[in-house]
Amino acid sequence: MNSYYYGRREYNQTHDESGTFVLVLLGCAGFGLAIYILTAKLHLRPRQLVEAAIDLGCIIAAGFITFRYFWTFKKRRLETWPQAAVHVPLLKDRNEVAKAFSKNSIVAGYTVEGKSWNWSDDIRRMQALLLGMSGSGKTTLLAGIIAQDLRRVVRGNHRIPIIIIDGKADRKFRKVVEYEVAAAGRSHQFRVLDPTQPDISVRWNPLSMTANSYHEHVNFIFESFGLRRDFFKGHQYTYFGDLVRVLYYTGKRFNIYDVLVVAQDQKVLEEQIDVARDRIEGLYSPHDQRRLNFEMSAHNLIQSFASKERVEKIQGLLNELMTFIQDDLSVVTGPYEDLLSLEDVIDQELVLYVSLNVSLNTRAVTALGQMLLHNLQLLAGKRYQSEDENPPFVSVIMDEFSPLAYPEFAHAIQTARGSNIAILFSLQSVAQLERVSRSFCNDVCSAPNTVMLLRCRNDEETAKYFMTSSSLVEAKRRTMTVEETGLIDKQAREIGFGSNTYIMETRAKDEQIRNLPLGQFQVLVTNNKLGTEFLHLHVRLTPQFELNCFKPTIFPRTQIPNIFTDGANLRFKDPSLIERRIRFKGRANQPR
């Protein structure tokens, strides 16, 4: 085999040298013929020939350089690293966005050639993952996506409901969103849920329930508490469910404070059981299973007060519920009226911005965030099983949601695509998902059909994940033969022999994804015709509409006292409990 290889190479070299010799010979003959015609027939002098040769040479060289520049411009622009920033004129950007809107898509970025990348709703509802270190351009990319969703009109004359969950409570990001909402003419549809700003925050009572839904609410509220290692977790879940069942059948609205009252005051509990029993007798027959279930819950609750270990068994539950009695947070989660639910956001085509600062009142804010995610999961499940084959498109943006995540939320990603809910997860690194569990990280990372990566300089896990997801492709590796030359300073010089080897390598390059310039990102997106596409894009810069003379206003929420509403409004009636609260309050107010 080796002799055949070398013999073939020798034959090719001899053949190539013969062809070159013939071309040179023909060129010399043509040049001599041209000189003869110019001197003998046209009688040109030698100086004229030299001048004409110089002019012709300059023209040919200029033409060759110009032709070569434009011929190789596209290739050089693609191979140049780092790529230069792309400038897209404002009018062209508006036209591209308008074309994308007509195709139920948005423009998320531009290629180095200035071509727009349209991200369709069909791909978005199969979920997306955005990764990138702080300061790499994630906020600009998210703002561009939100700005386009705010302006889109779908299904005739309907706007897209948007839910934004900000796990960092970034005031700068919220300010950008507020200006974009005002520019889109949707200020009347903008709502903010922020426990640290109860004056402008909407009211969201986790215990506000619709018919036949209190079982789901009990489940996701209890799972939001940090009771995974509590020995009495099962007992506390049953006890909490019994309390909610009794209050639910009273027919009045209730909140977490009401649950705490009936959990600690037997007199109040007995009164609520009597109210619920009188009401349930008119709803169900004596042999109805729902009525029997209520009687079982009432019996268990009354019997629990006779147990000496009652307090120890339910203390963990009471501690978690007490975190929601913090002043600012209770203003948001305590009212009975003027409440907002995720169903209202979709039905009324609202824009809900949820700002959760887990650094303040960590336990309560984290539990509140998990309740919202559980509620979103429940909503996705209901839409998934609904008879509507084409429910309204919903855009959900989750920025730094890892502190709020829980293991079961990975299942929501699977049902969300069938419910036409597009979820975009924005994280700094893949390792943040491992705080929940390794399997949760694998589920979230493997489910999205779109993965966008900005710069990740020191994040080995994220870089490895993206390169592995980009898949292997066939590439050519060239090996050249060299020889050493020089006596004192030896150098390696190619001698013209080499070989090409076909290898498999990832489409994403480690040296590129770790050193992506600001505002550039790489994308792996599913294409039904081409499979998985790999793109290098530049973030679309959204025109800024911020004016010094204008400031978006979020109107304060009206304060409706609970005593004037159709709520339970439960208060302690046991004198010992009242005296204990007064004594504890006076002790807390004493100077230290």
**pLDDT tens across 102-119, in order?**
999 999 999 988 899 999
Q: Report d(CA 68, CA 529) in Å as an integer.
A: 34
Read off the pLDDT of each residue in 23-42 and give the average, rounded to a whole number: 79
- So what's the pLDDT on residue 103? 93
- So what's the pLDDT on residue 510? 87
- Is there a contact between 526 and 450 (Cβ–Cβ < 8 Å)? yes
Predicted confidence (pLDDT) at residue 459 exceeds the cutoff of 70: yes
The percent of residues in the chain predicted with pLDDT above 70, rounded, is 90
User: What fold is seen in the domain 120-202+340-471+507-539?
Assistant: Rossmann fold (3.40.50)
Read off the pLDDT of each residue in 24-34 and give the average, rounded to a whole number: 81
- Is there a contact between 258 and 250 (Cβ–Cβ < 8 Å)? no
Q: Which one, of 523, 491, 563, 420, lies nearest residue 119 by Cα?
A: 523
Please return the burial class of 484, using the count of CB atoms within 10 Å of its CB with bins 0-12, 13-18 and 19+.
exposed
Read off the pLDDT of each residue in 273-280 and give the average, rounded to a whole number: 93
**pLDDT tens across 421-448, in order?**
999 999 988 888 888 888 888 888 888 8
Using pLDDT thresholds of 50, 70 and 90, give the confidence band for residue 11: very low
Count how many Cα atoms sit within 13 Å of the Cα of residue 419 in the half-sphere of its side chain. Answer: 23
User: Domain coordinates of the chain in residue numbers?
Assistant: 2-71, 120-202+340-471+507-539, 214-328
Non-local (6+) Cβ contacts of 269 within 8 A are: 246, 262, 263, 301, 302, 305
- So what's the pLDDT on residue 246? 93
**pLDDT tens across 158-180, in order?**
999 999 999 888 888 999 999 99
Predicted confidence (pLDDT) at residue 297 exceeds the cutoff of 90: yes
- Cα dist. 368→217, 243, 330, 358, 404 in Å? 13, 20, 11, 10, 9
Q: Which residues pair with 446 in a beta bridge?
A: none
- Which range has the worst mean pLDDT, 98-112, 278-292, 467-481? 467-481
Please return the burial class of 144, using the count of CB atoms within 10 Å of its CB with bins 0-12, 13-18 and 19+.
buried
User: What is the number of residues in the chain?
Assistant: 592
**How far is CA 450 from its chain centroid?**
10
Mean pLDDT of the chain: 84
82 cis-preceded (ω within 30 degrees of 0): yes
- So what's the pLDDT on residue 2? 40
Predicted confidence (pLDDT) at residue 552 exceeds the cutoff of 90: no
- So what's the pLDDT on residue 5? 39
Phi, psi of 48 (to 5 degrees): -65, -35
Predicted confidence (pLDDT) at residue 10 exceeds the cutoff of 60: no
Predicted confidence (pLDDT) at residue 277 exceeds the cutoff of 80: yes
Q: Report d(CA 68, CA 64) in Å as an integer.
A: 6
Read off the pLDDT of each residue in 304-323 and give the average, rounded to a whole number: 87
Read off the pLDDT of each residue in 464-477 and give the average, rounded to a whole number: 85
- So what's the pLDDT on residue 75? 78
Read off the pLDDT of each residue in 176-196 and give the average, rounded to a whole number: 92
- So what's the pLDDT on residue 162? 96
DSSP notation for 413-464: HHHHHHTTEEEEEEES-GGGGGGT-HHHHHHHHHS-SEEEE---SS-HHHHH
Q: Report d(CA 203, CA 334) in Å as an integer.
A: 8
